[in-house]
Amino acid sequence: MYLSQLTHTHQTQEAMIDLHQMIKSQKRGLALNVVRRWSHQLLTGVAHLHNIHIMQRDLKPSNLLIYRDMSLKIGDFGLASEAFMTEAQPVRREMCTLWYRAPELIMVSNLVG
């Protein structure tokens, strides 16, 4: 599956809130069973993306969406890319956010692949 196909297969269900807002709104913290469920859903989602050769590249609390049924889904694929590159490609500044910097940028590599 290609990244362009992924954007056309998303569900049209509207998120209730993102994880960043959810955490900020909590006075006593999140229940352990909720944290476990969301952690499982996040890891399952990332594993699925990697299985279809997609790298999200912008995982942060504000890109993790919480729905009315309290399920967590990964959102914002603006920096996502296909993970199977056939040849080395130049590293671009767009490969990072304030929350994450790819190892190849930290190590000042000029090529990815």
Active site residue 58: yes
Q: Which of 18, 58, 69, 76 is catalytic?
A: 58
Nearest CA to 80 among 36, 35, 45?
Answer: 45
Going by C-alpha positions, the residue among 43, 45, 57, 63 that lies closest to residue 112 is 57
Residue numbers annotated as active site: 58
